[in-house]
Amino acid sequence: MWVMTTRGFFSVVADRDDASQVLVRARVRQDLEALAEVGDLPEIAETPTADFRWRVRLSGAEWSRALTRLAEEIDYPNFKDAVAERQGHESSSRRSTTSAVPRVRPRRSPSVCSAVDLPASLGPHSAVTDPRSRF
């Protein structure tokens, strides 16, 4: 799960060593320090070779409470403006949808047809649905 807030940008994944825990990861230590202001966080760990260098381990319940508090803080009509105001324009640029989110290549299943794969007899407005495809 990617979470972009006025406090920071986080990547949250299941802890592969403990199914009851999640890892809340950040590329910038200050993002986790800001998250600690909404609730107690354990010590921030550094993993220098990882894509998200800084991380904390939380229970699912702790993460849920933190997300609730973050949602309750929403007081802005424009997200990017709020980030720029609270963290500076550099942070706002870093968190823009074009720069903060890693490039993701869409996965295509061989069972899903694109418009160019459709038989001409179906026409340009026809829909082909494969019940095995997942969105």
Is residue 132 in a domain? no
Q: How far apart are CA 97 and CA 16, in angstroms?
A: 28
Residue 44 counted as domain residue: yes
DSSP three-state, residue 70: helix
User: Cβ distance 6 to 86 under 8 Å?
Assistant: yes
What is the Cα–Cα distance from 130 to 133, expressed in whole angstroms? 6
pLDDT for 89 equals 61
- Model pLDDT for residues 69-89, shown as the tens digit of each residue: 999 999 999 998 998 898 876
Judge whether 75 lies within some domain. yes
Per the listing, tokens 């550094």 go with 46
63 Cβ contact partners less than 8 Å away, ≥ 6 residues apart: 12, 22, 24
For residue 85, being part of any structural domain is answered with yes
Would you give the distance in Å from CA 2 to the centre of its chain?
Answer: 1
| 81 in any annotated domain | yes
**pLDDT tens digit string along 95-121?**
444 444 454 455 555 554 444 444 454
Please determine, for residue 46, whether its predicted confidence score (pLDDT) is greater than 90: yes
Stated pTM of the model: 0.67
Whether pLDDT at 57 is above 50: yes
CATH of the domain at 34: 3.30.70
Total number of domains in the chain: 1
Within a domain: residue 79?
A: yes
Q: Are 22 and 14 in contact (CB under 8 A)?
A: yes
Residue 99 belongs to a domain: no
In a domain, 69, yes or no: yes
pLDDT at 128 > cutoff 50: no
Q: What is the span of the domain harbouring residue 19?
A: 2-94
